[in-house]
């Protein structure tokens, strides 16, 4: 079975606790609940501020065939607001499921602010291909820079893993090359980025999310035994 992931985004209501420790506590509670309900699950999380300054968690979830977004929305709202909701909410798919859930919220939740957060606090998106996962990781996990709002100085880690032992992993291949070989690879990578209209600055380590890993291994081999100039750039998809 293909172990594609789902992306869940958890946000906070208009009024939220500004203590970063409470955000991490909320995430920890959600992670423990998820592993309790789905022991084979795992997820990579990323924290970043919304424009209004509120925290937002991005969860790349693996190991769950089907988890209704309504279940996550209710559990996240309960965790953030420290309350308990009735469990008779609808979990149907599609537009009908969304309409039924909206109706259930309006009929069962009296606090309008809480109801709005319950309806908008969680978004979900299926990622159904390897390239989809790589595009998301490249956007959200590769050192994206943003201005931190006030009170974010004590946030600590901005990403992490829950259920690490369950996280699907590919085979690891380590290739040791000389410093001269590394410099050749880095020069080739910079030219490759430029050919794709991308700018890659800075020195040091180089991290790539790619579907052409074997072609890059070939570059490593050529860097040691020949010249990377013999590589065909068309072999390297983005």
Mean pLDDT of the chain: 80
Q: Contact 211/130 with Cβ under 8 angstroms?
A: yes
Integer-rounded Cα radius of gyration of the chain: 22
Query: 129 vs 48, which has greater pLDDT?
Result: 48
Percent of the chain residues topping a pLDDT of 70: 76
* Residue 26 or 131, more confident: 26
Query: What is the Cα 196 distance to its own chain's centre?
Result: 24
Angle at 167 between CA 171 and CA 131, to 5 degrees: 65
Nearest one of 12, 80, 81, 79 to 48, comparing CA atoms: 12
Answer whether residue 4 shows pLDDT above 60: no
């Amino acid at each position: 079975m293909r172990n594609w992931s789902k992306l869940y985004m958890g946000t906070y209501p208009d009024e939220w606790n500004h203590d970063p420790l409470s955000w991490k506590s909320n995430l920890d509670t959600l992670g423990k609940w998820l592993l309790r309900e789905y022991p084979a699950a795992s997820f990579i999380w990323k924290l970043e501020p919304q424009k209004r300054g509120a925290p937002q968690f991005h969860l790349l979830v693996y190991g769950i065939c089907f988890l209704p977004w309504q279940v996550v929305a209710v559990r996240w709202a309960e965790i953030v607001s420290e309350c308990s909701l009735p469990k008779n909410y609808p979990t149907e798919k599609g537009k009908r499921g969304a309409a039924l859930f909206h109706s259930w919220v309006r009929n069962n939740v009296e606090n309008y602010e809480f109801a709005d957060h319950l309806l908008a606090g969680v978004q979900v998106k299926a990622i159904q291909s390897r390239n989809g996962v790589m595009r998301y990781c490249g956007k959200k996990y590769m050192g994206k820079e943003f201005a931190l709002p006030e009170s974010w100085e004590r946030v600590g880690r901005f990403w992490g893993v829950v259920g690490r032992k369950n996280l699907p992993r590919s085979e690891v291949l380590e290739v040791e090359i000389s410093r001269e070989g590394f410099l050749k690879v880095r020069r080739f990578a910079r030219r490759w980025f430029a050919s794709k209209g991308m700018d890659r600055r800075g020195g040091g380590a180089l991290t790539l999310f790619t579907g052409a890993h074997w072609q890059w291994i070939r570059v490593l081999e050529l860097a040691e035994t020949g010249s990377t100039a013999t590589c065909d750039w068309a072999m390297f998809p983005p």
